[in-house]
Amino acid sequence: MDTRSKAANTNSLRPHRREFLQAVSAGATLLAAPAFVGATDKAGVKNAIVGQGEYQYECIHDWGLDSLPSGHHYGDASHGVAIDSQGMVYITHHGQPGSIYVFDPEGKFVRSMGDFHSSGKSASGHGIDIRKENGTEFLYLAANNPRFGWAKTDLAGELVWKKERAEIHADTGKYGGRARFNPTNVSFAPDGGYFLGDGYGSNYVHQYDKDDKYIRTIGGGGKGDGQFRTPHGQWLDDRDGTPKLLVVDRANARLQWFDMEGNHLKTLGGFLFPADADIQGDLMVVPDLHCRITLLDKDNQVLAQLGDDPEWRKGALAGFKMRTQRDRWQPGKFIHPHDACFDAEGNIYVTEWVRTGRVTKLVKVS
């Protein structure tokens, strides 16, 4: 079984900013904006409550930030989040040192690592997922920089292997000439294999077996079923008892499902700019880069949309300036959620594509 629960270099961001602008008006609001009420944390500070009905959460913004040592910072973005079996929280980022910060369950900084996805004054941390293999947990990491490829490490950050464009081309034959390769995330098959999503590259998802042998490629650029425009995130969805590959097709504002042989099964729209997904039991969380978090049930019906506010979204997306302006951020509001994952208690950790980074712990209150 896998365990996870899961901006940038200017050149790599330019095409994605265009996608961002094209999608600003693409999605419809599925639920009305929630009400916000006060909650009190251990320090006596009022925190916002977001959500609806049985799915309400206290927002602890900037979780762990105060424990970062001097000289440690998230830089231009906090990107990915994953949680190991001991509750340790791993955050990928664009700051220094390293490309990953590790925190204990209480938000205390433990260590930095991931120097192989870092150079100069900034890192290129992006996708991160954790899987237990024969009793040992490993990180699978995708950098937001095509020069760095992707890597597998142990939980201490020691490299097991690192693969770059030439190796993936030798496997797939997809990266001759000027074809782009810039993976964004990975997901795991129940038989020990995995799927590598080339979300910032050529819009493919490559399938490998448990022995790292290439099997097939899914997708390619386009808007039709089985095609992708930025397959940014993915997950194994077995909520109905049958394992399926869930691909978060960001610039097409939708989710797509495939069987384990890569055949398209279904497509679900109604999103804005979805970035990734995580599943716990029957509940799925989808962080949406356009200012909200969506929770769906086993039948993919919307249960709640956290922080959803059309007027707030309009301001946050205007020129993308708010991501650099902390003085405009408000409690209970999201700017650009980039990844999200559940912990063992059903709380949700959210990382945002904002300068200086922001990690929010959403504590379940009902």
- pLDDT 10s digits, 123-178: 999 999 999 999 999 999 999 999 998 999 999 999 999 999 999 999 999 999 99
What's the CA angle centered on 279, arms 5 and 253, to 5 degrees?
Answer: 95
- H-run or E-run covering 304: strand 302-306
Residue 20 has a pLDDT of 46
The residue among 351, 204, 219, 339 whose CA lies nearest residue 275 is 339
* 22-49 CB burial, b ≥16 within 10 A, e <16: ebeeebeebeebbebeebeeeeeeebbb
Residue 82 has a pLDDT of 98
Residue 215 has a pLDDT of 98
Query: What's the CA gap between 96 and 267, in Å, rounded?
Result: 39
Q: Classify strands 244-249 and 254-258 as parallel, antiparallel or unpaired.
A: antiparallel
Q: Classify strands 359-364 and 283-288 as parallel, antiparallel or unpaired.
A: unpaired
Query: What's the CA gap between 54 and 304, in Å, rounded?
Result: 9
* Residue 270 tokens, joined: 């109604």
Task: Please report, in angstroms and rounded to a whole number, the separation of the first and last CA atoms in the chain.
Answer: 28
Torsion of CA 283, 284, 289, 291, to 10 degrees: -20
- H-run or E-run covering 14: helix 10-23
Residue 26 has a pLDDT of 40
Residue 202 has a pLDDT of 97
Residue 9 has a pLDDT of 34
Query: What's the CA gap between 309 and 322, in Å, rounded?
Result: 15
Residue 19 has a pLDDT of 53
The DSSP 8-state label assigned to residue 94 in this structure reads B
Side-by-side strand order, sheet with 292-296: 278-280, 283-288, 292-296, 302-306
User: 10-61+68-364 maps to which CATH number?
Assistant: 2.120.10.30
Residue 86 has a pLDDT of 98
Query: What's the CA gap between 347 and 57, in Å, rounded?
Result: 8
Residue stretches of the chain with pLDDT short of 50:
1-15, 17-18, 20-39
Q: Is 316 in a helix, a strand, or coil?
A: helix
Query: What's the CA gap between 129 and 197, in Å, rounded?
Result: 12
For 346, left (φ over 0), alpha (ψ -120 to 50), or beta? left
Residue 29 has a pLDDT of 36
pTM of the predicted protein model: 0.90
